[in-house]
Amino acid sequence: MNNRQLLYILLISGMSLGTAWAIRGQFGHEQGAAWAGGIGGLCIVLLSKRPDWYAKAFQLSVASAAGWGIGGIISYGKVVGYARGLDFGNVYYGLLMLFVIGGLFGLIGGGLFGLTMASNREKPVKWPQLIVQMTAGAIIFYYFLIEQLGWLMTPPRSEAWAAAFGMCIALFWYMIRNKQYSAIRVAIFAGLGGGFGFAFGNFLQVMGSVSGIKFNFWNVMEYSIGFFGGIGMAYGTFTSHWDKSDETVSKTNLIGPIVILTLIIPFVVWDQSFETDRLVGIISSFDPFTNAESIARNVQWIAFLLIPAFAGYSLYRFYFKSEWQSAQLVRKHLQQFFLINLGLYAIFSVLITGAFMSLYRSEQYLYIANLVVVGLLINKLEPSFTNRGLNLGRWTLNFIFILAFLAILTAVAVSSHGELKGANLRFE
């Protein structure tokens, strides 16, 4: 592949997942991560320009959403605080654990996304078997690591990272047994990208706090994990071999993924985020004399009604408008879906933060700028694929390099500030 084209592809992929993940910072938890993950996966499908991947674009988006969403069970608030400390041991521990947490996001997200790309008639993925094995892995590793060994990452918070780790082990064991080497490559690079992005993003957050610049540097950290995670997932995809699959899809196989992406995930985000008390508090902070309750109700209804509108449009476009039982999905329509999906997520963020009433959240408008750039460039790339295979030696060196780089960041962070608000200690 032309190196310049590959760099542009990585940039667009990183910006897409980075923007969605930064927006996810307003919503959090599994549902917010799933919405962002689905956007990142669909972007890579569009950049591939492969009609056989268009046919399963919604399945790929759901797989990416599920994988990145699983990581949403992990608590990392106190871990971020460890990296705001004053001694090398606690800060390095914090960055390393953020590398682990971000890595789990990417490993599972990239793995499920890669398996869905690799699945075809000749070599289908046995999803029921995989789901059972990942569930068993979560239970076994959680009770062994947490209840038996007592390896606590972030006491007294939830230690659900161990369950995610068990799912990751089961996922890799499945991919190794079934020789899904391309999917392994996507998972590894998505994990390296997500892990590095989370740790590096927290370093940027600390430096931003020290700088005194009035900006949401927590959001910078969120953007970083998505940006580098998206780059890693795209790099693993475009440097792997993928067998060709069907270019048409049964219409009945479209309903479930479309409903999940357009109705279920957005509704759960709305239900869990647009609470009246939260909205009234934000709106009242702008103008204590305004009718905050009335504005909050309007915001809730606007956000709610956008969900069935998006779902209705998607079902009409991709299901009801097709005349035959099998459909060949068109890139133009998938691109419209992608941009509307990312745009809707950005609108939710503007509404929940009250950025439509005040300019105090400047990062909200950067989401729109990112969306415009992605929309302008996503059609201008001519991708090709290379097959670089598995290189355990090089990956090990990359891993060691990242550990050393995080040690350097730790030294810089510790020497740059005094006591910071929100700092935590893991070790006395």
pLDDT per residue as tens digits for the range 213-244? 888 888 999 999 999 999 999 999 999 999 99
167 falls within a domain? no
Does the pLDDT at position 382 exceed 90? no
322: confidence class by pLDDT, cuts 50, 70, 90: low
Count structural domains, the chain.
1
> What is the pLDDT at residue 403?
94
Q: Is the pLDDT of residue 321 over 80?
A: no
Task: Identify whether 427 is part of a domain.
Answer: no
Residue 256 domain boundaries? 3-125+180-414
Instruction: Note whether residue 21 is domain-resident.
Output: yes
pTM: 0.94
196: nearest Cα among 154, 235, 225:
225
Question: Is 189 in contact with 399 (CB distance < 8 Å)?
Answer: no
365-374: average pLDDT: 93
pLDDT band of residue 302 (cuts 50, 70, 90) is very high
Residues 300/27, Cβ–Cβ less than 8 Å? no
67 domain-assigned: yes
Alpha helices in 71-180 (DSSP H): 77-82, 88-118, 127-142, 161-177
158 inside domain: no
Domain membership of residue 142 (yes or no) is no
139 to 33, 69, 135, 317: CA distances (angstroms): 22, 18, 6, 41
Q: Does 326 have pLDDT greater than 80?
A: no
380 within a domain of the structure (yes/no): yes
Q: What is the mean pLDDT of residues 307-330?
A: 81
Q: Is residue 100 part of a domain?
A: yes
